[in-house]
Amino acid sequence: MTVNIGVIGLGMMGRDHLRRFSEVISGAKVTAVCDIQRETVDEMAKTFAATPFYDADALINSALVDAVVICSIGPAHKEQILAAFKAGKPVFCEKPLTPGADEARQIIDAEVKTGKRLLQLGFMRRFDAGYQKLKQTIEAGELGDILLMHCAHRNPAVPESYTLEMAINDSATHEIDIIRYLLNEDIVAVRVDRPGKKTSRACPHLQDPLIVIFETESGVRIDDELFVNCGYGYDIRCEAVGEHAIAGLTGQALTYARAPYGYGQNIAHSCMERFAAAYDSEVQHFVNRVREGKALSGPSSWDGYVVALVCDAGLASLKDGEKQRVIVPQRPALYQG
Amino acid sequence: MTVNIGVIGLGMMGRDHLRRFSEVISGAKVTAVCDIQRETVDEMAKTFAATPFYDADALINSALVDAVVICSIGPAHKEQILAAFKAGKPVFCEKPLTPGADEARQIIDAEVKTGKRLLQLGFMRRFDAGYQKLKQTIEAGELGDILLMHCAHRNPAVPESYTLEMAINDSATHEIDIIRYLLNEDIVAVRVDRPGKKTSRACPHLQDPLIVIFETESGVRIDDELFVNCGYGYDIRCEAVGEHAIAGLTGQALTYARAPYGYGQNIAHSCMERFAAAYDSEVQHFVNRVREGKALSGPSSWDGYVVALVCDAGLASLKDGEKQRVIVPQRPALYQG
Amino acid sequence: MTVNIGVIGLGMMGRDHLRRFSEVISGAKVTAVCDIQRETVDEMAKTFAATPFYDADALINSALVDAVVICSIGPAHKEQILAAFKAGKPVFCEKPLTPGADEARQIIDAEVKTGKRLLQLGFMRRFDAGYQKLKQTIEAGELGDILLMHCAHRNPAVPESYTLEMAINDSATHEIDIIRYLLNEDIVAVRVDRPGKKTSRACPHLQDPLIVIFETESGVRIDDELFVNCGYGYDIRCEAVGEHAIAGLTGQALTYARAPYGYGQNIAHSCMERFAAAYDSEVQHFVNRVREGKALSGPSSWDGYVVALVCDAGLASLKDGEKQRVIVPQRPALYQG
Amino acid sequence: MTVNIGVIGLGMMGRDHLRRFSEVISGAKVTAVCDIQRETVDEMAKTFAATPFYDADALINSALVDAVVICSIGPAHKEQILAAFKAGKPVFCEKPLTPGADEARQIIDAEVKTGKRLLQLGFMRRFDAGYQKLKQTIEAGELGDILLMHCAHRNPAVPESYTLEMAINDSATHEIDIIRYLLNEDIVAVRVDRPGKKTSRACPHLQDPLIVIFETESGVRIDDELFVNCGYGYDIRCEAVGEHAIAGLTGQALTYARAPYGYGQNIAHSCMERFAAAYDSEVQHFVNRVREGKALSGPSSWDGYVVALVCDAGLASLKDGEKQRVIVPQRPALYQG
């Protein structure tokens, strides 16, 4: 069976998924595309031999579409997801699930009512082989009880449109999810520290870098350096400090060179490069679940909701610099195990 | 379209491909299995819901089968490949193409007559992201003209059935292919050096380690350490020494640890682990070409034939220790470009 | 000229210096030893062919002694240093200069009165080739303006006698000094964070690990993980994050191994091993200055005093968890440049 | 006691030793200098406050000189060494001991007659902490029996005066000595392979790179890449392949950087930089032995002689490409243990 995919939102991420379905993913094909820009719809429909839609709801309910991939802007997510749930169609939704936790909660409630997991959220890092291996190492007990984690999230540069809040909602959001994934527990407190200096590479409206400090239920302390104009590359670090040993991600370079500047290993230039295999893998995972008629798995609406709660606390701390508590409600049975 | 696959030969490699088609590969499904052991056929047919065949020819010509995956023992390859060519069915064949160069030549001649590339050979290293990046670095000219290469091929251990000749035909064969791939030129001479010592881990009939020295058309000198009972892991090294810089494969560990024994990075335990992604990728590549109705690409019968010529020279040198020349015939148009 | 050295305090550090003068350092010889334990004095005097003293003042004023090396316990330092200053004899003093900043201030005042730098403090890290290279890199401007630093100070284990306060006064003290050395500026604020978890390897009276956060005059934010029962080795990390690039200390292993546990590099077991060359180098530096009749250089009483101010602030923060300001008085001319 | 040193030969190496004695070495001072260039002698005598000599024999026999450091050109060594032996003065001699093995034999015979080791040869690598640690690892048995070694000796560039023979006599000579040191056995065969290509950076009279293959008494096979115009840095590699594990030298970088070109570690630019500590250490070792009135230790005349035998075999193989045997005579008792 080939899964017929409808893609909503044809910006950078949407187009990247169009290319992915065309070149990499097997068992699925894009049959329908939709965007608020008519011209873009027409162009993409032509390039990828898909049917053009100018209305998301129409696409979602079309018989041409078995499953929906949502790459629209965050504020549009809720309505589109609820429509898909109503149509009983599985959804792959780019993160964030919604701009705030309240809307995310409505999605949770709707999904729980359907009685089945219908949504996979685009937290692609869970499909990265390095993070998966790190999780195995932690779960195998080699490190003993985890006490601390040190993370860094560095982008070479961000556009002027990147706001201070996006450091939490767009960047830290990845660490928030992956910490929960690695440690199998929730984050209960957040504090954002503003260092005394900022890079001259950043736009005046930003404080860059920022340091965010998380605390989990069991007391693990995590610091996360968010540096989105670091200049030199896209560089992700994650180290878990345990009672008996330490483990973390390597730089993951496949090749080395010795050249006049010294010994060197490549650093990725972008998120797309660093997590290329993870992006492919998350989408293939989604397609496979749909093909097999199984309930969806991997990052869920619940994960999106809880991450949104932590982000909201982070945004509050960004304002006042205080440690903010996160109250995580009870997890519905649908999202357990 | 889903490609219906018939798998011939249900040993370790064949079973690994059965698992791969079942769990990883998309756009294909195994519909038929065959082996000389009836019980194995029945068991695998049941496990993977495929039709059992006790005769390779019957499987090849069955309407249940769109494409053939050959994992039988080397001496059986020629006949099976020729039958598939006759049936006009695309073949994925595990290496070696044939035990000797003469039989490989017959396959070349038959394939050329069909006028179309119908075979992809299982040199999975060409699908390894590290080798691919190394090739890009070489071709981008960053290293200047390549002068030397240093390779190592280390297995933790080999079974007693592993013969001295297999160091050439089973192990060095991978470096022979990948050197040609990386450098875009043929090997014209081989010499096998027997070091004065051998490991006590090896069976008495082996000389382990061996050093094989290759020379290419343009004069690049490559040394290849073959050490198949190295004890500590499956460890592949490849370094290209150029006029201006050096580049090579890293250890490719995804994670690191600091533990009481010191700083550590994982080393793969087996070829299957080290090249897991490459195995998946080569088979997906085969399936994609078949699905798209395209002529096959990637490692070809011609590569198998030329590697066999180099292996034959290597086996001669293994006997007398002399440098042996390799005469590579003209490449048919079918295999150019 | 050979410098005649008198060593006061024959505990672990004092004995290590006795060995060092005997085996490594040139241009100096230990002629006198002193401790509060008579038996220890007699034993060491015999082993190293030195004259035994049972009173520090007597040793300091003996004609047998050109220069004094103080390895006694911290509370004894002030009186011994002042006596040496009075005798006009150069002093090498193990850190901490004094247990608190007030006593350190008295030393400053006394030294300033002599009009000459007479004391080198045992902050050996300034003589470590790695830190020196890192300082060069920072000063060469390759990283741009420094924004953040990440440090870690990990010991395999500490004895039961190690108190919570020693995490600041004995461990963090090294980072406090080296941060000032690397950045050429003072620390103006300190905050100690107590993570929610502690290692089961630590004695009940400790909170281990701790995170200390420093802020410098210009606004650089530094986090320092103090983990003194990390179990796996003595592991020092220091990374400077600049506007354009990042630099830090490597693991500094001289050799690697590939063994059944994987790729490995050695991690030092102790401070003595990790900083062996730095210890030798700081003492040789002291001896050379004395031999050449020059005023002392390297880490000074002033450095000891300012580090003590920062430690006092750290101890206050250890109690209340609040950010504590450090007021650094004006630096006397003697310690400038 | 301070050792009075006379330095003969004031070229690059001689001047480097003058600086070393002046700045680094303790317990010794240069009192006399000699060279065939009068102006150089006068200049260096003035700069380093030493007595000028225009005749080596006069310096050697001067009462101003306790020990002789020979940095003259190779052909002058024999006569100077024999004169020092006659005068009963200890000698530190830069390598090579002599240009050929025959002259070296005469030195052996003369030293044996004195009944005492009077010469330390300038094979500084034996004083490199990395090689020392590698030797410890080998001798501790962690690797099991050593089967193979892989070495590389890469210089960024050599001057036009560098001849093809110098690849053996000046470059490979270091590996020849260090292999014997690491393995505690002699080399019994050498073969020089000329790769089919050479770098365009090399002068036309050179074949660069070369590969030299050594065989030891017990049968260890060592390959050594000599690449003296590699362009990118001074890069020394040494790996020992044992039955159970592998160990080798790391790149020994003290710091790392992440910058726009990627992750980087420094590579030394010259032998002087890479082996700076080893040069200091070998000379300090020499001075310490002399000060303590002990017979010399470390690399000996015998090592110089045997290395010369291996070099002679290497030069023969450089001509005909054949494997050349090395006959090592019985080691006199003076050089045992």
Q: Which of A281, A280, A284, A251 is nearest to A268 (CA)?
A: A251
Q: How far is C233 from chain B (nearest CA, A)?
A: 6
Cβ-Cβ contacts under 8 Å, C266 against chain B: 262-263
Q: Which of A152, A144, A217, A146 is nearest to A186 (CA)?
A: A217
* Same domain (yes/no): D44, D152: no
Q: What is the pLDDT of residue A44?
A: 98
* Average pLDDT, rounded, for chain A: 95
Does the pLDDT at position B25 exceed 80?
A: yes
Contact between D225 and B148 using a beta-carbon 8 Å cutoff? yes
pLDDT band at C106 (very low <50, low <70, confident <90, very high): very high
Contact between D130 and C255 using a beta-carbon 8 Å cutoff? yes
CATH of the domain at B120: 3.40.50.720
Tens digits of per-residue pLDDT, D241-275?
999 999 999 999 999 999 887 889 989 999 999 99
Which residues span the domain enclosing A33? 3-125+277-299
* Same domain (yes/no): A220, A119: no
* Same domain (yes/no): B96, B183: no
Backbone angles phi, psi at D257, to 5 degrees: -145, 150
> Between vectors from CA A60 to CA A54 and to CA A66, what angle results, nearest 5°?
130
Strand bridging mode C324-325 / C187-193: antiparallel
Secondary structure of C64-83 in HEC code, one letter for each residue: CCCEEEECCCHHHHHHHHHH
* Average pLDDT, rounded, for chain C: 95
Give the burial class of B277: count Cβ atoms within 10 A of its Cβ; 0-12 exposed, 13-18 middle, 19 or more buried.
Answer: middle
Contact between A142 and B245 using a beta-carbon 8 Å cutoff? no
In this complex, the chains that touch A, judged by 3 or more CB pairs closer than 8 A, are B, C, D
Residue D59 located in a structural domain: yes
The answer to whether the predicted template modeling score (pTM) of the entire model surpasses 0.90 is yes
In this complex, the chains that touch D, judged by 3 or more CB pairs closer than 8 A, are A, B, C
State percent of chain A over pLDDT 90. Answer: 92
**A139 in contact with B, Cβ within 8 Å:** no
Residue A307 located in a structural domain: no
Contact between A250 and B260 using a beta-carbon 8 Å cutoff? no
Residue C322 located in a structural domain: no
How many residues are given for chain D? 337
How far apart are the C-alpha atoms of B197 and B210, rounded to whole Å? 10
Q: Which two tokens stand for residue C67?
A: 């220069």
**C129 in contact with D, Cβ within 8 Å:** yes
Contact between B244 and A255 using a beta-carbon 8 Å cutoff? no
In Å, how far are C33, C45, D65, D148, D211 from C55, measured between CA atoms? 10, 14, 43, 60, 66
State percent of chain C over pLDDT 70. Answer: 100
Mean pLDDT of A151-157: 97
Does the pLDDT at position B114 exceed 80?
A: yes
What is the three-class DSSP state of A17?
Answer: helix
* Same domain (yes/no): A181, A227: yes
Mean pLDDT of B183-192: 98
**Under 8 Å between Cβ of B72 and B9:** yes
Q: How far is C255 from chain D (nearest CA, A)?
A: 4
Contact between C254 and D258 using a beta-carbon 8 Å cutoff? no
In this complex, the chains that touch B, judged by 3 or more CB pairs closer than 8 A, are A, C, D
pLDDT band at C214 (very low <50, low <70, confident <90, very high): very high
Cβ-Cβ contacts under 8 Å, C223 against chain A: 211, 223
Tens digits of per-residue pLDDT, D39-73?
999 999 999 999 999 999 999 999 999 999 999 99
Strand bridging mode A246-249 / B255-259: antiparallel
Cβ-Cβ contacts under 8 Å, B213 against chain D: 193
Q: What is the pLDDT of residue A99?
A: 87
Backbone angles phi, psi at A121, to 5 degrees: -95, 150
* Same domain (yes/no): B197, B84: no
Q: Which of C150, C197, C221 sits opposite A220 (nearest CB)?
A: C197
CATH of the domain at C159: 3.30.360.10
Q: What is the pLDDT of residue B24?
A: 81
How far apart are the C-alpha atoms of C129 and D280, rounded to whole Å? 15
Task: Specify the range with the lowest mean pLDDT, choosing from A313-322, C74-83, C92-101.
Answer: C92-101
Q: From the candidates C255, C269, C287, which should be mutated to test the interface with D, based on the most D CB atoms within 10 A?
A: C255
**A258 in contact with B, Cβ within 8 Å:** yes
Does the pLDDT at position A13 exceed 90?
A: yes
Q: How far is A326 from chain C (nearest CA, A)?
A: 16
Residue D328 located in a structural domain: no
Q: Which of D150, D219, D225 sits opposite B196 (nearest CB)?
A: D219
Q: What is the pLDDT of residue B261?
A: 73
pLDDT band at C1 (very low <50, low <70, confident <90, very high): low
Q: What is the pLDDT of residue A100?
A: 87
> Between vectors from CA C77 to CA C73 and to CA C78, what angle results, nearest 5°?
150
* Same domain (yes/no): D42, D138: no
Cβ-Cβ contacts under 8 Å, B218 against chain D: 196-197
Bridge partners, A248 (sequence order): A239, B256
Could you count the other beta carbons within 10 Å of the beta carbon of residue C184?
Answer: 12
* Same domain (yes/no): C133, C261: yes
**Which has more pLDDT, C305 or B291?**
C305
Q: What is the pLDDT of residue A24?
A: 81
Residue A331 located in a structural domain: no
Strand bridging mode C246-249 / D255-259: antiparallel
Cβ-Cβ contacts under 8 Å, B259 against chain C: 232
pLDDT band at A1 (very low <50, low <70, confident <90, very high): low
Helices vs. strands in chain B: H and E counts, helices first:
11, 15
pLDDT band at A5 (very low <50, low <70, confident <90, very high): very high
Give the burial class of A44: count Cβ atoms within 10 A of its Cβ; 0-12 exposed, 13-18 middle, 19 or more buried.
Answer: buried
C187 CB-near residues (< 8 Å, 6+ apart): C176, C179, C180, C214, C215, C216, C217, C310, C326
**C39 in contact with A, Cβ within 8 Å:** no
**Under 8 Å between Cβ of C105 and C219:** no
Does the pLDDT at position D135 exceed 90?
A: yes
Q: Which two tokens stand for residue A206?
A: 């930003």
Residue B328 located in a structural domain: no
* Same domain (yes/no): B133, B178: yes
Give the burial class of A163: count Cβ atoms within 10 A of its Cβ; 0-12 exposed, 13-18 middle, 19 or more buried.
Answer: middle
Does the pLDDT at position B74 exceed 80?
A: yes
Q: Which long-range contacts (CB under 8 A, 24 or more apart) does D323-332 make?
A: D323/D189, D323/D190, D323/D191, D323/D213, D323/D215, D324/D189, D324/D190, D324/D191, D325/D188, D325/D189, D326/D186, D326/D187, D326/D188, D326/D189, D326/D190, D328/D186, D328/D188, D331/D302, D332/D108, D332/D112, D332/D302
Q: Which of D124, D125, D61, D69 is nearest to D92 (CA)?
A: D69
Q: Which of B145, B200, B245 sits opposite D243 (nearest CB)?
A: B200
Q: From the candidates D227, D236, D252, D258, which should be mutated to test the interface with A, based on the most A CB atoms within 10 A?
A: D258
Q: Which amino acid is at A258?
A: R
Closest residue of chain C to B251, computed from CA coordinates:
C263
**A255 in contact with B, Cβ within 8 Å:** yes
Q: Which two tokens stand for residue A258?
A: 């010795």
In this complex, the chains that touch C, judged by 3 or more CB pairs closer than 8 A, are A, B, D
Could you count the other beta carbons within 10 Å of the beta carbon of residue D303?
Answer: 23
CB pairs under 8 A between B and C: 46
Q: How many domains, in total, are found in chain A?
A: 2
Q: What is the pLDDT of residue C99?
A: 87
What is the three-class DSSP state of B220?
Answer: coil
How far apart are the C-alpha atoms of A258 and B240, rounded to whole Å? 10
Q: From the candidates C153, C229, C256, C258, which should be mutated to test the interface with B, based on the most B CB atoms within 10 A?
A: C258
pLDDT band at B100 (very low <50, low <70, confident <90, very high): confident
DSSP letters of D19-66?
A: HHHHHT--SEEEEEEE-S-HHHHHHHHHHTT-EEES-HHHHHH-TT-S
Contact between B259 and A287 using a beta-carbon 8 Å cutoff? no
Cβ-Cβ contacts under 8 Å, C262 against chain B: 233, 253, 264-267
Q: Which of A211, A232, A245 sits opposite C245 (nearest CB)?
A: A232
Mean pLDDT of A245-253: 95
**B263 in contact with D, Cβ within 8 Å:** no
* Same domain (yes/no): B115, B9: yes
DSSP letters of C38-72?
A: HHHHHHHHHHTT-EEES-HHHHHH-TT-SEEEE-S
pLDDT band at A166 (very low <50, low <70, confident <90, very high): very high
DSSP letters of D227-256?
A: ETT-SS--EEEEEEEESS-EEEE----SEE
CB pairs under 8 A between C and D: 87
In Å, how far are B99, B119, B155, B275 from B74, measured between CA atoms? 6, 15, 21, 21
How far apart are the C-alpha atoms of C103 and C301, rounded to whole Å? 11
Mean pLDDT of C115-126: 97
Tens digits of per-residue pLDDT, B188-238?
999 999 999 999 999 999 999 999 999 999 999 999 999 999 999 999 999
Residue B335 located in a structural domain: no
CB proximity under 8 Å: C 200-239 to A? 200-201, 209, 211, 213, 215-216, 218-221, 223, 225, 227, 230-232
Q: Which of D264, D285, D268 is nearest to D276 (CA)?
A: D268
Q: What is the pLDDT of residue D26?
A: 78
C144: left (phi over 0), alpha (psi -120 to 50) or beta: left
Please report where in the chains the tokens 């060494």 appear, as a residue: D81
Cβ-Cβ contacts under 8 Å, B133 against chain D: none
Tens digits of per-residue pLDDT, B258-317?
998 788 998 999 999 999 999 999 999 999 899 889 999 999 999 999 999 999 999 999
pLDDT band at B45 (very low <50, low <70, confident <90, very high): very high
* Average pLDDT, rounded, for chain D: 95
* Same domain (yes/no): B265, B143: yes
How far apart are the C-alpha atoms of C311 and C326, rounded to whole Å? 9
Does the pLDDT at position D19 exceed 70?
A: yes
* Same domain (yes/no): B133, B109: no
Q: What is the pLDDT of residue C26?
A: 78
**D129 in contact with C, Cβ within 8 Å:** yes
Does the pLDDT at position A200 exceed 80?
A: yes
Q: What is the pLDDT of residue D186?
A: 98
Dihedral sign (CA B235, B137, B149, D161): negative
Q: How far is A57 from chain B (nearest CA, A)?
A: 29
Q: What is the pLDDT of residue D99?
A: 87
**D256 in contact with C, Cβ within 8 Å:** yes
* Average pLDDT, rounded, for chain B: 95
Residue D316 located in a structural domain: no
* Same domain (yes/no): C113, C24: yes
